């Protein structure tokens, strides 16, 4: 792997859940976290991986020649910034005033040189840029050039964070402080996982930590969904299941996520 290439899991066009407006979302492979509830487990590992969906298999026996039914796919391919940007540019007409491109994953900050080049190319075309990040990594030059940062604050307690994600959040908390100094608007998000962080106390601790930031534009709570389970199976990984939070629970917790409370 060279610095001028990144491993891309997928490029989703006409995305509406990865930032404002209509967006093109680039999902990069590789992440420093190992979240038990991850809905993109195919983006944890940096290298390309085979995914097998047995329900799509037609038993043709042509696996070596290439799967024609889509039962076996290779997730991840090396791409240059130019190759990625070509696909971004195809959707420019649909971005209008509030859409753009979102760099996601995985963790896009694993590929700083590629992302910086993409930001440069997007700015030249007046395309809005955003990133979804765990903030486990930090690059002030990269983050400072974005139009929007969407950063996860998953769990407040550091040891509990390590139990469920594989690392402590000590660096993440410090990176939030550094992010606020860059004068870039950012949104904080917490995925709500029943039995892990779905308590009023948890949300209140996170809210109190972030509400003093001058560049924060909101605090969102996102309900866990089981999208990642089918992908875990396809990757041959252990299936880890959590309950989906109820609508009533989400409404209750959102009251305590109010930054002006």
What pLDDT, in 10s, does the model give residues 50-68? Answer: 999 989 989 888 887 788 8
* Percent with pLDDT over 70 in the chain: 99
On the 0-12 / 13-18 / 19+ scale of CB atoms within 10 A, 261 is exposed
Range of weakest confidence among 54-68, 203-217, 234-248: 54-68
Q: Quick one: average pLDDT of 181-210?
A: 98
pLDDT value at 128 more than 70: yes
Q: Give pLDDT, residue 84.
A: 98
Half-sphere exposure of 196 (CA within 13 A, CB side): 25
Q: Compute the mean pLDDT over every residue in the chain, rounded to the nearest whole number.
A: 95
pLDDT value at 243 more than 70: yes
Q: Give pLDDT, residue 67.
A: 86
Q: What phi and psi values does residue 5 have, to the nearest 5 degrees?
A: -130, 155
Model confidence band, residue 2 (pLDDT cutoffs 50, 70, 90): low
CA 69 to chain centre: 29
Q: Quick one: average pLDDT of 110-128?
A: 98
Other beta carbons within 10 angstroms of residue 150's beta carbon come to: 20
Contact 103, 151 (CB under 8 A): no
pLDDT value at 1 more than 80: no
In total, the chain counts a number of residues equal to 261
Cα→Cα distances 195→17, 105, 173, 241, 254, Å: 25, 25, 22, 11, 17
Task: For the chain, list the domains and their CATH numbers.
Answer: 5-256 (3.20.20.70)
């Amino acid at each position: 792997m060279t610095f001028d290439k990144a491993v891309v899991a997928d490029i989703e066009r006409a995305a509406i859940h990865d930032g404002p407006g209509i967006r093109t979302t680039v999902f990069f492979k590789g992440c420093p976290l190992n979240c038990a509830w991850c809905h993109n487990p195919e983006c944890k590992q940096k290298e390309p991986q085979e995914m097998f969906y047995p329900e799509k298999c037609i038993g043709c026996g042509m696996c070596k020649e290439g799967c024609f039914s889509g039962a076996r796919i290779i997730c991840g391919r090396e791409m240059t910034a130019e190759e990625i940007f070509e696909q971004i540019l195809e959707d420019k007409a649909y971005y209008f005033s509030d859409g753009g491109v979102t760099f996601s994953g995985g963790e896009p900050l694993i590929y700083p040189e590629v992302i910086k080049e993409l930001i440069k190319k997007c700015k030249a075309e007046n395309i809005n840029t955003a990133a979804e990040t765990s903030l486990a990594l930090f690059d002030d030059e990269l983050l400072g050039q974005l139009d929007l940062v969407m950063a996860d604050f998953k769990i407040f307690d550091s040891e509990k964070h390590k139990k469920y994600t594989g690392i402590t959040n000590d660096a993440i908390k410090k990176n939030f402080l550094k992010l606020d100094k860059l004068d870039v608007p950012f949104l904080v998000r917490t995925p709500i996982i029943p039995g892990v962080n779905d308590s009023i106390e948890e949300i209140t601790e996170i809210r109190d930590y972030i509400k003093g930031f001058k560049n924060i534009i909101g605090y969102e709570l996102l309900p866990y969904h089981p999208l990642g389970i089918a992908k875990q199976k396809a990757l041959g990984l252990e299936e880890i299941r959590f309950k989906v939070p109820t609508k009533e629970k989400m409404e209750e917790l959102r009251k305590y996520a109010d930054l002006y409370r």
